[in-house]
Structure 1
Amino acid sequence: MASGNAIRGIRVGSGPIRADERCEPAPSRTVSYWCANGHRVAPLFAAEVTAPPTWECPRCGQPAGQDRLHPPGAPRAEPYKSHLAYVKERRTEAEGAAILAEALRNLRQRRGEE
């Protein structure tokens, strides 16, 4: 149970803030974006900021563009790549064979086979 002299309620001076009372709102603008499913997204941007060319649709997750008649298509999903696939992108077959030979030589030296 709280003591009898406890202050209850809100902080002093934290009443509802109305823009006309306490501050002047920053100039802003709304930019409309449309996705391929026809959803419209209208985020608010500061007036001096350049709006990005695409925006993610919050309803379907597709990219949305500013051109209503030609919205951007769905992003292409890259297939899963294994570690070996990434290594093969960076190395040639000859480099891979040289690295394997070096690793086998080091392994045999540690085992005392050479």
Structure 2
Amino acid sequence: MAGGGNAIRGSRVGAGPMGESERGEAAPRVWVSYWCSNGHEVRPSFAKEPDIVVPEVWDCPRCGFPAGQDRDNPPQPPKNEPYKTHLAYVKERRSEEDGAALLEEALDALRQRRGES
């Protein structure tokens, strides 16, 4: 079809002259301030109802650190441990002497399978 004539061109679902009367009234809201250790403030809103529990901690959308309601004492960011290799975990469980003994035992078994002395 040439030339268009599409009546809904440029519109989307939910677009149009809809107001409070068609959507219903918004629930009363309460805004709560949270601060992270970088000093960022985030103010999410919550429904103002008796059964709604406002969380103690909220994630900061700017840095991802946890944010609390006490501006002077924000929660500390979690300590990230560096990546450990499998060998690092093994060394935590075994001493150098144990490791040397296990290596020697494995080499002896390998030599016997190969017919070496």
Is the structural similarity TM-score above 0.5?
Answer: yes
Aligned to 1:38: 39
For normalisation by structure 2, the TM-score amounts to 0.60
Give the SS at the match of 1:64.
strand
CA RMSD of aligned residues (A): 3.4
- Taking the aligned partners of 2:90 and 2:82, their CA distance within structure 1 comes to 16
Deviation at 1:64, TM superposition (A): 1.6
Aligned pairs (5 A) from 1:81-100: 81-89=84-92, 91-93=93-95, 96-97=99-100, 99-100=102-103
Report the number of matched residues.
111
Q: CA deviation at 1:25?
A: 4.1
Amino-acid identity (%):
55
**Residues 86/28 of structure 1: CA separation in 2 closer, same or farther (3 Å cut):** farther
Secondary structure of the equivalent of 2:71? coil
In 2, the alpha carbon distance for the partners of 1:19 and 1:101 equals 79
Deviations 1:10-36 (A, max 9, x none): 36x643453431345456543320123
**Which residue identity lines up with residue 84 of structure 1 in the other structure?**
L
For 2:42 and 2:28, the matched residues in 1 are separated by 20
What secondary structure is seen at the aligned counterpart in 2 of 1:38? coil
Name the TM-score, length of structure 1 as normaliser.
Answer: 0.61
User: Aligned in 2, Cα 1:87/1:29: closer, same or farther, shift over 3 Å?
Assistant: farther
Mapping 1:1-114, distance limit 5 Å: 3-4=2-3, 7=6, 9=9, 10=11, 14-16=14-16, 17-25=18-26, 28-45=29-46, 48-89=51-92, 91-93=93-95, 96-97=99-100, 99-113=102-116
Where does the alignment leave 5 or more consecutive residues of structure 1 unmatched? none
